[in-house]
Amino acid sequence: MILYLHGFASGPTSRKAQFFRSCFAKLGIPLEIPDLTEGDFEHMTISRQLDIIRRMVGDRKVSFIGSSLGGYLAAAYAARYPGPQRLVLLAPAFAFLSRWPAALGVDRMEEWKRTGALSFYHYADRRDRKLSYRFIEDGRCYEDFPDVQQPTLIIHGRNDTTVPCELSQAFAKGRQNVELELVDSDHELTDVLDHLWSRISQFLLA
């Protein structure tokens, strides 16, 4: 079983998700792409997303392709549950919680906490949607760098301004099970899709 985990404020219809689904389909291999919010972005938390993955995987062996926050989820899941065999992490959002204040600013973080919800642009829905502050509260239960033991391939853009590639470098340092490749791209990695497929197919299917 191969599972694609989409990023924050994204969904199963994302460009990368559908590109990889098409590539795997040509080989007769299904790529499962769950909606990690189950239609309820407002109440999304790391715990809820991990539970969605757990219910979908069940007792089956699985390999993950995770993008951004989906990459972090793949790592967090692999560190907690049996089943994952190999991980491909695309610009994984390590240390996501500690980066929110810098990304949003102090005022917006305080507004989020005070009002209990904050609006974000949802790329799959193409509109603003609110997210509960519970996302932050729940996120404090999770580590910046999950202790992944499985073979892992990380591909990260050198020009990523959303999740600095230095975080993937810090994660990979000293881990013999992790292969890190930096590419000349940004956070989306959509301009290197053919290269991604070449590396991913080699890593997961060889």
| Confidence at residue 3, expressed as pLDDT on a 0 to 100 scale | 98
* Cα–Cα distance, 20 to 98 (Å, whole number): 30
Q: pLDDT tens digits for 64-117?
A: 999 999 999 999 999 999 889 999 999 999 999 888 888 889 899 999 999 999
**Domain boundaries of the chain, sorted by first residue:** 2-205
> For the domain bounded by 2-205, which CATH number is listed?
3.40.50.1820
Q: pLDDT tens digits for 144-201?
A: 999 999 999 999 999 999 999 999 999 999 999 999 999 999 999 999 999 999 999 9
Q: Is the pTM of this model over 0.85?
A: yes
